[in-house]
Structure 1
Amino acid sequence: MNRALTNLVDDRQDELKHILSDLIGFSTVSPPARNTSDIQKYIANYLEKLDFHTERWDVFPNDPNLVGMKKGTDSDTYNSLIINGHIDVAEVGDESSWTVPPFSLTEKGKYLYGRGVSDMKGAVACALFATKLLHEEGIDLKGDLQLQTVIGEEVGEAGTLSCIEKGYNADFALVVDGSNREIHGQGGVITGWVTVKSKRVYHDAMRAELNETGEGASAIEKMTKVIESLRNLEKKWAETKEYPGFKKGTTTINPAVIEGGRHAAFVADECRLWITVHFYPHEDYRIVSQEVEEYLHQSLKDDLWFENNPLHFEWGGKSMIEDRGEIFPSAEIDPEHPAIKLLEESHQDIEQVKPFVGMSKTVTDAGWFSDAGIPTAIYGPGKLHEAHSVDEKIELEELIQFTKTLLTFIPAWCNTKKQ
């Protein structure tokens, strides 16, 4: 650890607060989203002054991703690093319930207040400040350092996936979302639409005849069978699936939204159910969604109506706003991976205690790196109960400690030879 370097964080903490104040001043609430061009321009200008090469592209109109790249002096031989964070924030709700202005940084005692200080502009500010100190102090990095500030994480918009699709890669990806400075992997989430649809449409006056003949049925009533089957599958998973660090029964299937029918003069010919499925870190969202489909087909096979009117499935999506769907892949972490061990050591050097290594209670963009075969971990400042809260806050000391850990970890990892 470079003690002189980390001491600069204490000496210049007002600069860290200034960066965070600037970031909080951009109202990047999502939804409605489509409002991040200005903050990304600010970050790009900041990084370019530190000799980063930057690229911006619109994932959605007025919602660009930004990647800043600083090439190492021996990129082929030494480890590369991605630091990833999202710059959208959760909606504020009724501003009258706040005691501080949501988009103006407020300092009270040991806390900083404002929308995003914990989730997760505080971490982004720390990463920016750390890169500035490394640059100004002439700390050479032999491996590449890449900063990604992405859009849409709050509403399941795959900003990080867009970075991966454009070919951005590294030997390790550190997602600095709020983990209370614990090192986390995560389970995953996928949403899906299950549709019951009749091939024929009937007038409401036909219901008595249909009840007698069994020729037709209400799609809404048929959906009740689907919901019952999903509940049975959820119970089965609770009994048969498990993963260290999670309570049994964490693999859930939530029937979140139901839509169906035309109006009272029709027998309902269509019903759609929006479900949210949570799964364990070692599971793949593609396999999990296939499990759901196969179980429903098997459990409903004795109902001839479903044979003639098969279920339809739509899984995932790249935006809860645009296509009403999302995917957060799971992320297993290897506690013995060299980057994880080095991150543990860096944390301990600064905080004098070992960090907890385990699993997040929520989901982040880390799963996209894991899904792409890039070793990853979640490690950032901020407590989960502060995320999305009224009067969102974070301790200044937490940001200071996190910045010091970054200043220890980044040069250690990027100056270690690839294995």
Structure 2
Amino acid sequence: MRGLAAAVEAIANRGDELFDLLGKLVSQPTVSPPARNSEQAQSLIAGELQEMGFDIDRWPVYPGDDNVVGRLPGTASEESKSLIINGHIDVAEVGDDTGWTYPPFTLTTGPDGRWYGRGVADMKGGLAASLFAIKMLREHGVELKGDLLFQSVIGEEAGEAGTLVAIERGYSADYAVVVDTSNLHMQGQGGVITGWITIESPTTLHDGMRAKTIHAGGRVHGASAIEKMMKIIASLQELERHWAVMKTYPGFAPGSNTINPAVIEGGRHAAFIADKCALWISVHFYPDESYEDIIRQIEDHVCRAASADVWLRENPPTFRWGGRSMIEERGEIFPSLEVDRSHPGLAALQNAYEAQVKRAPVLDMSPTVTDAGWFAHAGIPAVLFGPGELAHAHAVDESIDPEQLIQFAQVMARFIAEWCNTKKEAKEW
């Protein structure tokens, strides 16, 4: 393909430009929480896209946190494959930075040759390298017949559904690559959902009434919501053990599907019997499961346990699942992603990797969760593929190997050029 080889070579020869772009992104402290601080970083992304000829759509998800989506129309978009490149602009919080060897918001080259700064691995490195790959394709005249969409979204670190909002705005494509931290592995992922289980008494009783409640045999139909929650927790532990034995998925250790009782809130004062108790749980599930299925399984099991209790059967637990923000709603959802190993998009990405790296890529499962699951949930074929190692993400002295970043950009350049010049399959009528 005319210009592709030159573009790939230029990525290697002009690494200082990639360093400069990544440095500008790192200098913006888009930490989440507290979030609401990505305006300048998103302006930088939008400016880069605009210079390359993208049409820009920018809108607020929360005040101070905009999504940015750029669309580069293909020269034959009706007949050719389209692609979404997706990444999040927010980074993990730093807190007290006295433990850092290098300033977290200044991109620094260490004596080991690695690049240091908050977000270089998770995941401003992936955003910058993808932008640079596109820039080199544009400069070297590589035609893209299919539409190319670049999404810089907010909120992934705090479970805020920036990617979901972009999907709901109507953005779709024939394939999506989420360029989050994967150490250049091509990955699927399990899912996570949080939920609140609440038990509430219809009456509030003084502590002096405890001797008269059904706990102690005093013929008063009252109970402590905290103590009744212990039965709910026991039922969740029973279900978790059942899952660990009965469910498996390749690439995950047995028992990776967990139900974590993370936070419990209950009672009002030592002089009262607790009339309300709420349990916040986080649930990990496998790539071949949906969060809707998981909700049904947990609610069914918990409600059956509650029905066996003389007080809970009349005062059953209530449930609130998920949410679009851990900051605003104290709830989140990360859908799972089961990678379609036969999809031509994955084949094209594998071809690009093998052409550049000269070996077959690793196809496995991420031990964490990303926004990639939202594409699968919306019926958009997707894969997680990005630079950086999870051991360095969120860490003090977060770092990335610049050679891996260059290599990633080269693979992406090859993939974009191949996929966006692939003809769509003829429709079957």
Q: TM-score range by the shorter chain?
A: over 0.9
Secondary structure, in 3 states, of the residue corresponding to 2:311? Answer: helix
Please say if 1:329 is aligned against 2:330.
no
- Find 2:292's aligned residue among 281, 286, 294: 286
After TM superposition, the structure 1 = structure 2 runs for residues 145-156 of structure 1, keeping only pairs within 5 Å, are 145-156=148-159
CA displacement 1:161-208 (0-9 Å, x = unmatched): 000000000000000001000000100000000001111110111000
Q: Using the alignment, how far apart are the partners of 1:350 and 1:275 within structure 2?
A: 44
Measured in 2, the distance between the counterparts of 1:396 and 1:283 equals 36
Matches within 5 A, 1:154-233: 154-210=157-213, 211-212=216-217, 213=219, 215-233=221-239
Does structure 1 conserve the Cα–Cα contact (< 8 Å) formed by 2:6 and 2:140?
no
Aligned counterpart, 1:31: 33
Q: 1:347 to 1:5 in 2, by over 3 A?
A: same
- Give the C-alpha shift of residue 38 in structure 1: 0.9
Unaligned ranges ≥5, structure 1: none
* 1:304 maps to which of 300, 307, 310: 310
CA distance in 1, matches of 2:421, 2:403: 28
CA distance in 1, matches of 2:45, 2:250: 39
The alignment's TM-score, normalised by the length of structure 2, stands at: 0.97
Deviation at 1:138, TM superposition (A): 1.2
Determine helix, strand or coil for the equivalent of 1:202: coil
Residues 265-306 of structure 1, C-alpha deviation per residue, up to 9 Å, x if partnerless? Answer: 110000000000000101010110110000011122221211
Are the aligned partners of 1:110 and 1:397 in contact in 2 as well (CA < 8 Å)? no
Task: Look up the equivalent residue of 2:126 and give its one-letter code.
Answer: A
The answer as to 2:353 corresponding to 1:353 is no
Cα distance in 1, alignment partners of residues 224 and 104 from structure 2? 48
1:47 match: 49
Cα separation, partners in 2 of 1:203 and 1:396, compared to 1, 3 Å = same
1:134 matched to which residue of 2? Answer: 137
CA-atom RMSD in angstroms: 0.9
CA offsets, 1:343-378, max 9 Å, x none? 111111111111111111000000000000000000
Q: How does 1:54-73 map to 2 (within 5 A)?
A: 54-73=56-75
| AA aligned opposite 1:123 | G
What does 1:89-104 align with in structure 2 at a 5 Å threshold?
89-104=91-106
- TM-aligned CA deviation for residue 397 of structure 1: 0.2
Secondary structure at the residue paired with 2:31?
Answer: coil
Matched, 1:116 2:119: yes
**Identical columns (%):** 55
Other structure's SS at 2:61 match: strand
Q: Distance in 2 between matches of 1:344 and 1:214?
A: 68
Secondary structure in 2 aligned to 1:346?
Answer: helix
Contact 1:189–1:328 (CA<8 Å) still a contact in 2? Answer: yes
Separation in structure 1 between the aligned mates of residue 303 and residue 24 of structure 2, nearest angstrom:
53
Please say if residues 22 and 107 of structure 2, whose CA atoms lie closer than 8 Å, have aligned partners that are also in contact.
Answer: yes
Letter in 1 for 2:74: G
Task: Establish whether residue 268 from structure 1 lines up as the match of residue 268 from structure 2.
Answer: no
Measure the CA separation in 2 of the matches of 1:379 and 1:214: 60
User: 1:20 maps to which residue?
Assistant: 22
Q: Partner of 1:385: helix, strand, or coil?
A: coil
The residue matched to 1:266 in structure 2 has which SS?
A: coil
Name the aligned partner's letter for residue 348 of structure 1: E
- Whole-angstrom distance in 2 between the partners of 1:407 and 1:46: 16
Is 1:367 the counterpart of 2:373 in the alignment?
Answer: yes
CA contact (8 A) 2:306 2:316 kept: no
Q: Give the Å deviation of 1:214.
A: 5.3
Q: Normalising by structure 1, what TM-score?
A: 0.99
Q: C-alpha distance in 1, partners of 2:220/2:181? A: 55
What secondary structure sits across from 1:377 in the alignment? strand
2:318 is the counterpart of 1:315 = no
- Structure 2 distance, partners of 1:329, 1:406, is 25
CA positional deviation for 1:389: 0.1
Give 3-state SS (helix, strand or coil) of 1:104's partner.
coil
How many Å separate the matches in 1 of 2:377 and 2:209? 51
Residue identity in the other structure for 2:233: I
Separation in 1, partners of 2:308, 2:12: 69
Name the CA distance, whole Å, in 1 between partners of 2:310 and 2:358: 65
Find the aligned partners of 1:403 and 1:265 in 2 and give their Cα distance. 63
Q: What is the alpha-carbon distance in structure 1 between the residues aligned to residue 75 and residue 288 of structure 2?
A: 36
Which of 3, 24, 33 is the equivalent residue of 2:5? 3
Per-residue deviation, 1:142: 0.3
State yes or no: 1:384 paired with 2:390.
Answer: yes
Equivalent AA in structure 2 for residue 288 of structure 1: I
> Take 2:79 and 2:320, find their aligned partners in 1: how far apart are those partners?
44
**Post-superposition CA distance 1:303-328 (Å, at most 9, x none):** 12112111010000000000000000
Unaligned regions of 5+ residues in structure 2, if any? none
Deviates most, 224-233 or 129-138: 129-138
Offset of 1:93 from its aligned partner? 2.0
Letter in 2 for 1:223: M
Tell me if structure 1 keeps the 8 A contact 2:86–2:179. yes
